[in-house]
Amino acid sequence: MAGLTITEKIFSDHAGKEVRAGEIVRVPIDMTIGNDITTPISIKAFRESGAKKLANPDAFAIVMDHYIPPKDIASANQAKISRDFAYEHNLKYFFDEKDMGIEHALLPEKGLVIPGDVIIGADSHTCTHGALGAFSTGMGSTDISFAIITGGNWFKVPETIKVVLNGKPGKHVYGKDIILEVIRILGVDGALYKALEFTGEGIKHLGMADRFSICNMAIEAGAKNGIIAADDITKEYLEKVKEANGGLRAEPKYFYSDEDAEYCQVIEIDLDKLSPVVAYPFLPENGKSIEVAVKDDIKIDQVMIGSCTNGRLEDLEIAAKIVKGKRVARHTRMIVTPATQRIFLEAQDKGYIRDLIEAGAVVSNPTCGACLGGYMGILGEGEKCISTTNRNFVGRMGARSSEIYLANSAVAAASALAGKIVDPREI
């Protein structure tokens, strides 16, 4: 019989028996994640079920990140529901304004997601945590309530698409470009309910920020999860997290796909031939090379650098180095959102925040706000934005006639200076 993929091995470990793609299993959940938008729905289902306590309170994290600080009365009331529930159950992992961050950056930073985990969250970009060698996926709010009541949930073990990364990325080519290229190849539903496993020699050239970006957008190809097996880079990252937090939530379990594991599809990408990729409206699959985007001469009204996809310290460093000593174009706005308060402080200590502000950027608190068209960067009628976020659907960031172009932090920063989409390799 053929070997197992890393995703199959994680499920087998949790099920206590060997399981393969296509099987339906119930397994314990290591970490369940809620936010201020989705948690109130889970709380309502929890109460309606008659449940009185959580199966495992230390396996439930609530992160207030979408509309925090609240933008209006409705969002304040949403936040209050989550706060009251967190205090009622004395949740250890409740992150509010005092220690805020975007959930998919904050939890790895806190050492709460671990290699070998099964993680679920009521947010589609929960697949981010696969960058640490965990199975991590988004589920509905009622699925979350079932998990916190019972401690587990049901899954169909996904088939796996193997993405082999060859070579080394060139200047200003990052994880964002790699995943946009994968989505361009597969389409937005080409990996529907599949695992996207990223492997190959190219992985060793990618830092954790790149890996988080790649797994974050696996859902944009329809994937159930994205995953990258842990290596020395992962372990070095975990050591730093462990030191910063006085430990990890649990001991890591490292799983690796067998050489004879079965894959439903194999894709190969030559990183040394890849240019920065820009995804045109109105789907992440509309990827075009930066060379094409430059020829199209696209004027930009707003630049957004941040989100759970590209709001890490590395992104702020890339942007700051490009804009330092220069000035954002007169007709263009630039918004920068560090993904967590710790990232904000580190960027400030390194001088990146000063460089960004002096160039004309506005720096916001950590929030999902602009990405989902909530607040802190709404687009008006007909406006165009180049953004490091993960979605560019119709009306995603504001007016339905507005347009979003997805790109990496270097392309976004360079475009802010020019007032139009440009190639950062040329400046």
Q: What secondary structure does DSSP assign to 278-340, as a single string?
A: EEPTT-TT-EEEHHHHHHTT-B-SEEEEEHHHH-SHHHHHHHHHHHTTS---TT-EEEEE-SB
**309-338 average pLDDT score:** 98
Tens digit of pLDDT for each residue in 386-402?
999 999 999 999 999 99
CA angle 348, 352, 356 (to 5 degrees): 115
The mean pLDDT of the chain is: 96
User: Is pLDDT above 90 for 26?
Assistant: yes
CA distances from 11 to 28, 156, 174, 301 (A): 10, 10, 30, 46
Q: How many residues does the chain have?
A: 427
Delineate the domains of the chain, giving CATH numbers in brackets. Answer: 6-268 (3.30.499.10), 277-426 (3.30.499.10)
pLDDT band at 52 (very low <50, low <70, confident <90, very high): very high
CA distance 198 to 196: 6
**pLDDT tens digits, 202-235:** 999 999 999 999 999 999 999 999 999 999 999 9
Q: What percent of the chain has pLDDT over 90?
A: 98
Q: What is the pLDDT of residue 237?
A: 98
Q: Check residue 139 and give its pLDDT.
A: 95
3-state secondary structure (DSSP) of residue 162:
strand
Assign residue 132 a region: left if phi > 0, alpha if psi is -120 to 50, beta otherwise? alpha
Q: What is the pLDDT of residue 183?
A: 98
pLDDT at 156: 98
Residue 427: is its pLDDT beyond 90? no
Amino acid at position 274, single letter: L
Are 417 and 330 in contact by the 8 Å Cβ rule? The answer is no
pLDDT at residue 187, rounded to an integer:
96
pLDDT category of residue 180 using cuts at 50, 70 and 90: very high
pLDDT at 1 over 90: no
Q: How far apart are the C-alpha atoms of 319 and 335, rounded to whole Å?
A: 11
H-helix or E-strand spanning residue 404: strand 403-406
| Per-residue pLDDT, 294 | 97
Residue reference for tokens 């289902």: 45
Closest CA to 66 of 25, 27, 127, 122: 122
* Percentage of the chain lying above the pLDDT 70 cut: 100
Task: Give 274-285 pLDDT, tens digit per residue.
Answer: 999 999 999 999
In angstroms, rounded to a whole number, what is the distance separating the alpha carbons of residues 113 and 132?
A: 8
Prediction pTM value = 0.95
How sure is the predictor about 22, in pLDDT bands with cuts at 50, 70 and 90?
A: very high
List of residues 6+ apart from 236 with CB closer than 8 A:
none
Residue 326's contacts (CB-CB under 8 Å, 6 or more residues apart) are: 359, 417
What digits encode the pLDDT tens for the residues 339-374? 999 999 999 999 999 999 999 999 999 999 989 999
pLDDT at 127: 97
pLDDT attached to residue 412: 98
* pLDDT per position as a tens digit, 260-276: 999 999 999 999 999 99
E strand or H helix that includes residue 342:
helix 341-349
3-class secondary-structure state, position 229: coil
* d(C-alpha 111, C-alpha 302), whole Å: 34
Per-residue pLDDT, averaged over 415-427, amounts to 96
Structure tokens at 202: 């190219």
pLDDT in tens, 109-128: 999 999 999 999 999 999 99
**What is the predicted pLDDT for the residue at 406?**
98
The answer to whether residue 4 scores a pLDDT higher than 90 is yes
Q: With the CA atoms of 392, 395, 399 and 400 taken in that order, what torsion angle do they form, in degrees rounded to the nearest 10?
A: 110
Collect all residues with Cβ–Cβ distance below 8 Å to 90 and sequence separation of at least 6: 57
What does R_g of the chain's alpha carbons equal in angstroms?
21
pLDDT at 120: 98
